[in-house]
Structure 1
Amino acid sequence: MSTNTSTGAHSRAVAAQAIHAVLEQGQSLTQALTTYSEQLSAEDKRLAQAISYGVMRYLPVLTEKVSGKLDKPLKGKNQIIQSLLLVGTYQLFKLRTKDHAAVSATVEASKLLKRKALSGLVNGVLRQVLREAPTRNDDGERELPSAEGGNHPRWLREKIRAAYGEKAEAVFTANDSQPPLWLRANRRHTNVTDYTALLAENGIEAVADSQASDAIRLVKPVPVTKLPHFEAGWVSVQDRSAQLAADMVDAQPEHRVLDCCAAPGGKTVHLLERTEFQTPLIAIDVDEQRLERVSENLYRADLSCEVVCADVLDLDSWWDKQPFDRILLDAPCSATGVIRRHPDIKWLRRSSDIDQLVELQQSMLERLWPTLKPGGQLIYATCSILPEENSEQISHFLGQHSDANLIAIEANRPMLQLLPGENDGDGFFYAKIEKLP
């Protein structure tokens, strides 16, 4: 795709292609944007990302607005125009782009998508949407109609409501919001107090978290290129809920530590920033491509560990029979706690996936338990908010193992379930299990 973006059409076309890839081909939004935005300028990449993420957040209400203006559904090769109409409608409601410019750029995008014959349809639908749209508010946005369950699929709405009752609406609202940018201070270079002061010197307002001891929240997000000493590894981007993993592991220099399902390496690097291990930490993941991210993050932080590409379940392929003092199992899960960061999860995940994930998590716990030293601790973590993956999973494991003891994380919270938006963080779950002698 040409990089001539004078009309803004290219960013709209890329957003439509990415949305189409998610909805029709089951790709992740991150993967699709990486594929289609390669030739865009940095500014247009940000715009394409903002639009496509926004469409994923408000997909049901946007689809309803678009579908009501079409005489018949767009099918086959023309389905890409359905995605483009979602792009245009989202702009008219949620972006501050002037209406005529948004419509014009979206119409031009239909030509870039080789659907010139449908450019008149795109123009007509968007102008009809615009005529019926409310006036902009003080923030320059238009109010979208509310959707039952905050733009979530029915199966997920029902699960969240069954689990959290009156708290469910707050979860839906949080999932439809844009998350803040959290940083993790690298103790080998700085600390939260000093780096927050350094940010202030550079005109960036930030606040320290009261629980996650290395976490800093930016009041307004900025590109990482504007963060002092980012390339030198002074800070990394990581949500405050995920940062709690290092506190849970509580690793000491003499501990032998295993980080399971380690990619992309945020928790791995955090553990290494805090502790100089006498025995190399082992970071294991089955995905060779994602392990490259671990190596990149280690390189930026100027840290090292033993990175292993293997299936955790296949012990013979990677375990040397030497037991571990600490195991962090950041288990594969539904990722229902990070929907606000990855809104495509709502439309990619299926109800049937949950039982399969629960079975996989159970298998991992069972296989890893023999690798833990008596007196050692296994920290089970997910970015899920579904009880069957979390508290119910751990309760089942404890019932099957007389040598497993749950270590309470807080006096009134034996296990820690954080919901999306709680302390401005993502939804996350932690449980600490000690292996009795």
Structure 2
Amino acid sequence: MERDLSRQELTAETLVLWEKTRMSLRNCIKRVMRSHGVEDHKVWGTVHAYAFEIVKLLGTIDALIDHVTKGSSTREMHPWVRNPLRVATYEMKWRDLKPAIATSEAVRIISERVGDGPARFANAVLYDVEEVTLEEVLEKAEDEIERLSIEYSHPTWYVKHLLDLLGRDELIELMKANNEEPVRYLRVNAHLKDPDAVILALEREGVVVEEDPHVPLILRVVEWNVPPVRTEPYRRGWVTYQDKASAAAAYALAPEPGERVLDACSAPGNKAAYVYAYTCGEVELTCVDINPRRIEEMKRNFKRWGVEAEVVRADAARLKGVLNGGFDAALVDPPCSSSGSYNRTPEAKWTVKWRHVRRYAEGQLRILRGVADLKPGRMVYSTCSVTVPENEDVVHRFLSHEDTYSTRKPDVPVGSPGFDRWMDRRYRHHRHMIRLWPHRHMTEGFCVTLLEGG
């Protein structure tokens, strides 16, 4: 009979699986917990909290460990050595667990998983981690960029890029917000249930919400006695989680009843579903995605949310000849670096490099041009990225070769303008763009551009 694993060991196994597969952290947690038959909600909650916090703080945690190992680094260690070390370091430095308890559990896990030699090594490392301070580690940083990267646990490319754009003080506020628990928002599927009735139904089950003042159908979760996912409104599809920034991108399209609307990179379908709910189901939706697994997820979501749509598997960069056109409006939210979503998907911090940002930008431009080939009357181009190459620069390059489209500021009463320059480039359209920021607007980091013409 398999023994019950401790919360620390379940967390370490989640981190090992994440490093090996690069699946989402949520899916790694689900796979590990289900493989061990864990049903206790409290254990699930602890492992979820530990895994997400450790990955958010990974840069700082690894810097502490690397500082005391003097010559070796966490990257060179066996996965079943470095990850129990990370868990124990997190417990000691951020959870105020007694060092002897955190060390004992890590040593036991490593001894059983790898051997006594690595366990003795881990014991010595954690003894030194207990004594070292973050300030000692920061004093060894080569420059300001490395220091900020370690102190606030963000990749150096991100620090360098945003330091140039925002300045030191605001960058620190942004990174702090990225490391905090995000504000939770719900979307009301108004074609299924009146928003006022949904609010009352949630409150009866102990979920207190407030209507967002800027984006219709969006509720901010204020407090709850039970998680919203366990309430009747959620189970019946009346509400679902959707960040305010994501909803703002769909709202910027200003969909009207009777219109034909294309969502070019649709899965898992939240923005398309917002359009459907906003018009009370009075739109003709076509949803395109290239990933068959995500398409199936979207179909399940649409069934639960009561959304009717034509779902097409296709490459959004090559839609001409696949779709006939005739769309009044199109949503274009292509794959991106997710650099605006670090507080929800912290794993993106460590899986995406600067070279990937440039590759994403090329793919985004191809998709935007591919959708434009269908001549929709207007398009919203959006990403959950805060980088300039994926936003201002993509729009600038698109407009440089597309004289039938121009930008117009969306009628969305929240957000900041885009950046007017980056490196040697100047952007004339920046005031028509909307940027949403975690530290300014309590949302994911998003950039939204409305393009009209076609």
TM-score, length-normalised on structure 1? Answer: 0.86
The structural deviation recorded for 1:323 is 1.7
- Could you tell me which of 369, 392, 402 is aligned with 1:366? 369
In the alignment, which residue of structure 2 is the partner of 1:61? 60
Give me the whole-angstrom Cα distance separating, in 1, the residues matched to 2:180 and 2:159: 16
* Residue segments in structure 1 that go unaligned for 5+ positions in a row: 135-145
After superposition, the C-alpha distances for 1:31-61 in whole angstroms (9 at most, x for unaligned) are 4334433323343333222222212211222
What secondary structure is seen at the aligned counterpart in 1 of 2:340?
A: coil
In the alignment, which residue of structure 2 is the partner of 1:390? 391
In the alignment, which residue of structure 2 is the partner of 1:307? 311
The structural deviation recorded for 1:251 is 1.7
After superposition, the C-alpha distances for 1:404-430 in whole angstroms (9 at most, x for unaligned) are 121212597411011223321111111
In the alignment, which residue of structure 1 is the partner of 2:341? 338
The structural deviation recorded for 1:350 is 1.0
The structural deviation recorded for 1:76 is 6.7
AA aligned to 2:290 is V
In the alignment, which residue of structure 1 is the partner of 2:405? 404
The structural deviation recorded for 1:98 is 5.9
Give me the whole-angstrom Cα distance separating, in 2, the residues matched to 1:286 and 1:112: 43
Within a 5 Å distance, the mapping from 1:320-335 to structure 2 comes to 321-335=324-338
Give me the whole-angstrom Cα distance separating, in 1, the residues matched to 2:176 and 2:362: 30
Give me the whole-angstrom Cα distance separating, in 1, the residues matched to 2:19 and 2:310: 39
- Could you tell me which of 211, 219, 236 is aligned with 1:232? 236
Give me the whole-angstrom Cα distance separating, in 1, the residues matched to 2:370 and 2:83: 44
Task: Tell me, yes or no, if structure 1 residue 38 matches structure 2 residue 34.
Answer: yes
What secondary structure is seen at the aligned counterpart in 2 of 1:230?
A: helix
- Could you tell me which of 439, 442, 452 is aligned with 1:424? 442
The structural deviation recorded for 1:127 is 4.3
AA aligned to 1:38 is R
Task: Tell me, yes or no, if structure 1 residue 83 matches structure 2 residue 86.
Answer: no
What secondary structure is seen at the aligned counterpart in 2 of 1:372?
A: coil
Give me the whole-angstrom Cα distance separating, in 2, the residues matched to 1:90 and 1:385: 28
Are the aligned partners of 2:243 and 2:444 in contact in 1 as well (CA < 8 Å)? yes
In the alignment, which residue of structure 1 is the partner of 2:422? none
Within a 5 Å distance, the mapping from 1:153-302 to structure 2 comes to 153-165=155-167, 166-220=169-223, 222-275=226-279, 280-302=284-306
- Could you tell me which of 347, 351, 355 is aligned with 2:358? 355
The structural deviation recorded for 1:240 is 0.9
Are the aligned partners of 2:286 and 2:310 in contact in 1 as well (CA < 8 Å)? yes
Cα distance change of structure 1 residues 273 and 113 upon mapping to structure 2, 3 Å threshold = farther
In the alignment, which residue of structure 1 is the partner of 2:433? 415
Farther-moved stretch of structure 1 (40-49 vs 209-218): 40-49
Task: Tell me, yes or no, if structure 1 residue 50 matches structure 2 residue 79.
Answer: no
Farther-moved stretch of structure 1 (419-428 vs 402-411): 402-411
Give me the whole-angstrom Cα distance separating, in 1, the residues matched to 2:164 and 2:291: 34
The structural deviation recorded for 1:378 is 0.7
The structural deviation recorded for 1:401 is 1.9
Task: Tell me, yes or no, if structure 1 residue 110 matches structure 2 residue 128.
Answer: no
Give me the whole-angstrom Cα distance separating, in 2, the residues matched to 1:286 and 1:115: 45
The structural deviation recorded for 1:220 is 4.2
Farther-moved stretch of structure 1 (61-70 vs 108-117): 108-117
- RMSD (CA atoms): 2.9
Give me the whole-angstrom Cα distance separating, in 1, the residues matched to 2:45 and 2:53: 12
Farther-moved stretch of structure 1 (235-244 vs 86-95): 86-95
After superposition, the C-alpha distances for 1:303-349 in whole angstroms (9 at most, x for unaligned) are 22111111112225621x23210100012211111111111111111
In the alignment, which residue of structure 1 is the partner of 2:452? 434
What secondary structure is seen at the aligned counterpart in 2 of 1:148?
A: helix
Cα distance change of structure 1 residues 119 and 219 upon mapping to structure 2, 3 Å threshold = farther
In the alignment, which residue of structure 2 is the partner of 1:139? none
The structural deviation recorded for 1:111 is 4.6
Give the count of matched residue pairs. Answer: 418
TM-score, length-normalised on structure 2? Answer: 0.83
AA aligned to 1:109 is I
The structural deviation recorded for 1:148 is 0.9
In the alignment, which residue of structure 2 is the partner of 1:126? 126
Give me the whole-angstrom Cα distance separating, in 1, the residues matched to 2:436 and 2:12: 37
* Residue segments in structure 2 that go unaligned for 5+ positions in a row: 135-145, 418-430
Are the aligned partners of 1:19 and 1:83 in contact in 2 as well (CA < 8 Å)? no
Sequence identity percentage: 23
Farther-moved stretch of structure 1 (51-60 vs 197-206): 197-206
The structural deviation recorded for 1:131 is 5.0
